[in-house]
Amino acid sequence: MDLSVEGKVYLNGSLNNCCIGIEDGKISKIKKILKSENHHYFGNNLIIPAGIDIHVHFRDPGMTHKEDFSTGSKSAAFGGISCVLDMPNTIPQTTSVQNLKEKIRMAGKKSYVDFGIYSGITNNNLNRISEIKKYCNGFKLYMGGSTNSMNFDNQNLKLLQNINFDNKPILIHAEDKECLDNNKFKEKNLMDYIRSRSSECEKKAIYDIIENLKGNNLKIHICHISSSEGINLLKKFRNITCGVTPHHLFLNVENQKKNQSFFKTNPPIRQNFEREYLFKCLQNNVIDVIESDHAPHTFNEKSIEFNEAPSGIPGVETMIPIFLYLVHKGKLSINKIVKLFCEKPSEILDIPKGKIEIGRDADLMVVDLKKTCKINQDELHYKCGWSPFENFQAVFPKHVFIRGKHLISEGDLILNKGFGKYIGE
């Protein structure tokens, strides 16, 4: 046994004072009393699974002035995340075997945390999926335009039923392209933006997904759902999972009066009634996953006229800490947090993380719920240097372990970049 940790451990829905034994990066024992030569005692601090963020844009390669795998993964680690899944809309786009292999090689040299890579699905690579699927952890499909997104025609949705994806997830940006094109005009502010990217565009895309892909064996996940209309369509189809972002749960257009270009994202943040409805769905188990959609742009890029500013906001480091504060306040249970950030993402990706169980990766975070703070964007670790959650209350993890190795200890980064492993190996 390489090491053991002791504290208030989250096991099968409840907290238990016990010890976890770790060997070769895996959880090997769980007992009331257990000690190795390398023993970590955390008292009454919570020991829960480290988080999995199934949706990040680390901008590497091609846009590394915004972020790269080193800064993005470091930021994830300080936020309690042990595994990230990177999106394909980089430069070049990750839509071929060659680009997949190169991104995996590059990320392997830079990442502090474990990582997976998605391939994009386009009109032009549908006939190469059988080869591409060997080198990716899942697929991303853009039904409507976003930052450097790839072209996919809705009439090709039916063709997906004839492709064997080997149970790898297909994540979909659900905004209907025709609807977006018909609504397009020069947006001057956030209210204009939700008119040009209306909830009807999300609803229409989800309807098309259901009509074309229901009743098949594909593993479909709707990313960053943002509207009551969209999520109400999905309630009847529990074989399709959905995720929501912190910015759609905590931000609304009525409250963002200043620096509105900084809150521009796709799909847009909407009115407060939409935000409240999404939160109610989260509490009622309609939402499957919290995903950051960490999509950083620099301060200067966001400081221009609204219509010209790029869409996307950062959030990988602040996501779990904001929700841990809600646990501290008694507004959400620790069970809910573990399900949304750990167990369900692990299930979707089919990886041995996300749960404290013998045989799984020893990816853990240690949390003192009494240790609250305000988010200070100057203290965050990603590259763009700003946060939409400035001054939000949060609880950051005190310690983070990945595959049994101590990565974060009381605010200090212990391991070197390149420690993170590709989860497809």
pLDDT digits (tens, 9 = 90+) for 26-60: 999 999 999 888 999 999 999 999 999 999 999 99
C-alpha distances in Å from residue 407, one per residue of 58, 81, 190, 294, 366: 20, 11, 39, 21, 12
**What is the pLDDT at residue 35?**
83
pLDDT in tens, 162-188: 999 999 999 999 999 999 989 877 889
Q: Find the Cα–Cα–Cα–Cα dihedral 179, 180, 181, 185, rounded to 10°.
A: 130
pLDDT tens for residues 217-248? 899 999 999 999 999 999 877 789 999 999 99
Q: Are 47 and 364 in contact (CB under 8 A)?
A: yes
In this prediction, residue 145 carries a pLDDT of 64
pLDDT score at 239:
80
**Chain position carrying tokens 């609807």:** 179
User: Hey, what amino acid is at 32?
Assistant: K
Distances (CA, A) of 242 to 37, 172, 219, 326, 407: 43, 9, 11, 21, 30
How is residue 73 written in tokens?
């993964």
pLDDT given at position 149: 66
What secondary structure, in 3-state letters, does 313-367 show?
A: CCCCCCHHHHHHHHHHCCCCCHHHHHHHHHHHHHHHHCCCCCCCCCCCECCEEEE
Q: Which domains does the chain have, with CATH numbers?
A: 3-47+358-413 (2.30.40.10), 50-349 (3.20.20.140)
Nearest to 99 by CA among 113, 73, 128, 119: 119
Q: What is the pLDDT of residue 184?
A: 79
Handedness of CA 137, 72, 289, 46 (dihedral sign): positive
Q: Which helix (H) or strand (E) holds 409?
A: strand 405-409
Residue 160's pLDDT is 94
Query: How confident is the model over 368-389, as pLDDT tens digits?
Result: 999 999 999 999 999 999 999 9
**Residues 171 and 141: beta-carbon distance below 8 Å:** yes
If you ran DSSP here, which 8-state letter would residue 152 be given?
Answer: -
* Alpha helices per DSSP H over 44-114: 69-78, 97-110
pLDDT along the chain (425 residues), means of 10: 95 95 97 91 97 98 97 98 97 96 98 98 94 97 74 89 94 93 87 95 94 85 97 85 98 92 97 97 96 98 96 98 98 97 98 98 98 97 96 98 97 95 90
Sheet hosting strand 39-49, strand order edge to edge: 26-31, 14-23, 3-11, 39-49, 364-367, 399-402, 405-409, 412-413
Q: Which residues are catalytic?
A: 293
Q: Which of 194, 190, 140, 185 is nearest to 165 (CA)?
A: 140
